[in-house]
Copies of this chain bind each other. A is one copy, B any other.
Amino acid sequence: MIKIAILGFGAVGQGVAEILADRERIERWIGRYEVVAVADSKGSIYSEDGISLKNAIEAKKMGNLPEGKSTMEIIEEMDFDVAIEATPTNIDTGEPGLTHIKACLNKGSHVITSNKGPLVVAYRELAEIAERKKVRLAFEATIGGAMPLIKLAKRDLAGNEITSIKGILNGTCNYILSRMEQERLSYNQILGEAKELRIAEANVSYDVEGIDSAAKLVILANAVMGMNATFSDVEIVGITSITPEAFEIAMEKGYTIRLIAEASREGLRVSPRLVPLHHPLAVRGTFNAVLIQTDLAKEVFVIGRGAGKIETASAIISDLIDIYGDRTY
């Protein structure tokens, strides 16, 4: 019996709960499990015997989770095998996720997270605790939502030397740029459209200034390419100054413009770059798209949905199956 704690109960945590509520789907892969706690910053529902996920989702929909144990009390006082950490990201301090993840790893629980902050701030330290405690720290959901980039680069291409990873790591920016390409409207006009469609959040600066892409790039550089990079190592230019005229000129020459994050031996950078119109990285819409360049397999591209409640939750579930499932398929 696998005991799971869900820490953080926003869209992603709820998405995970929805998928885990479908026992027929998941037990086929990992056998019997119970969720023993869900918690957010306001409250929690918990029971050593397992809680009703349906009730937890309902409670959250109606307002807050009931007051009860705090997240740290759950970590310290309850027995679980794996924590799903999905609290909001803070890439400056990593908190509160960083404290949660450290505490869970140190007590010998596996951790699966969608939270970039702790990994940007302290990847090496967290990986070392996990190794020492012989537990897994899995974070497919931190990059590219449902796009299985980390498993692909770290395991499916095992034996290859990865020489660079580059691509589109932010779906909001890609939506804006591909709409500018198609409509030749200004950045601000398209941004307004994106906000109306709820593709861009109210505070979009994190996306359009390249900060979100840079955070993901730091995780990729450290976790996949074995670097020891910090956020300040990334050269960052966002997309706010790109004009319709820039697209005009690019497209006359057969190019479009995309916000490309790249990690290679030359360093880490996020910047708008010309991409040939027929290139896989010229993908349109909210997709994420990444080119992994290796010495043997050469170019491998992966393209997928970079965000979305169920899409991101599905990456967490794939990590859970990776830890507990039959890996011999």
Residues of B near A282 (CB, < 8 A) are 278
How many residues from A make CB contacts under 8 Å with B? Answer: 51
Residues of B near A304 (CB, < 8 A) are 297-301
Confirm or deny: A170 has a beta carbon within 8 angstroms of a beta carbon on chain B: no
Which residues 68-123 of A sit at the B interface, judged by CB distance below 8 A? none
Residues of B near A297 (CB, < 8 A) are 146-148, 304-305, 311, 314-315
Measured CA separation A328–B138 after assembly (Å)? 10
Select the stretch in A36-44, A191-199, A201-209, A316-324 that faces chain B: A316-324
Question: Provided the pairs A278-B284, A296-B314 are in contact, do residues A19 and B159 lie with their beta carbons within 8 angstroms?
Answer: yes
Residues of B near A303 (CB, < 8 A) are 280, 299-303
Q: Are A325 and B19 in contact (CB under 8 A)?
A: no
Q: Are A300 and B148 in contact (CB under 8 A)?
A: yes
Confirm or deny: A283 has a beta carbon within 8 angstroms of a beta carbon on chain B: yes
Confirm or deny: A152 has a beta carbon within 8 angstroms of a beta carbon on chain B: yes
Measured CA separation A296–B277 after assembly (Å)? 29
Closest beta carbon of chain B to A32's beta carbon, Å? 16
Closest beta carbon of chain B to A67's beta carbon, Å? 32
Residues of B near A25 (CB, < 8 A) are 159, 161
Measured CA separation A148–B325 after assembly (Å)? 20
* Least CB separation from A314: chain B residue: B296
